[in-house]
Amino acid sequence: METFIPDGYSSLLGMYDTQKAISLLHRLFEDRLGALLNLYRVSAPLFVEENSGLNDNLNGYERPVSFDILRSEHRAQVVQSLAKWKRLALKRYGFFPGKGLYTDMNAIRRDEDELDNLHSVYVDQWDWEKVILPENRNLDYLKLTVMDIVRAICDTQDTIQAIYPQLQILGKLEREVSFITTQELEDRYPELTPKERENAYLKEHRTAFLIGIGEPLRSGKPHDGRAPDYDDWKLNGDILFYDDVLDCAMEVSSMGIRVDPASMDRQLHEAGCDDRRKLPYHRALLAGELPLTIGGGIGQSRVSMLLLGKAHIGEVQASIWDEETIRICEENGVVLL
Q: Which H/E stretch holds residue 280?
A: helix 280-286
Confidence of residue 1 (pLDDT cuts 50, 70, 90): low
Q: Are 63 and 95 in contact (CB under 8 A)?
A: no
Domains (ranges, CATH) in the chain?
Answer: 15-44+81-331 (3.30.930.10)
Give the strand pairing for 178-181 and 207-211.
parallel
pLDDT of residue 205: 95
Percentage of the chain modeled with pLDDT above 70 = 96
pLDDT of residue 58: 60
Residue 52, CA distances (Å) to 76, 276, 284 in order: 10, 10, 12
Percentage of the chain modeled with pLDDT above 90 = 60
Q: What tens digit of pLDDT does each residue of 108-136 get?
A: 877 666 778 888 888 899 999 999 999 99
pLDDT of residue 207: 97
d(CA 77, CA 229): 18
d(CA 43, CA 66): 21
Query: What single letter denotes the amino acid at residue 132?
Result: I
Helices (H) and strands (E) in the chain, counts: 9, 11
> Model pTM?
0.91
Confidence of residue 45 (pLDDT cuts 50, 70, 90): confident
Active-site residues: which are they?
Answer: 56, 109, 125, 238, 251, 254
Q: What tens digit of pLDDT does each residue of 137-147 get?
A: 999 999 999 99
Out of 53-62, 174-183, 268-277, pick the least confident.
53-62
Mean pLDDT score, 60-66: 72
pLDDT of residue 59: 58
Helices 139-163 & 300-308 angle (0-180, nearest 10):
50
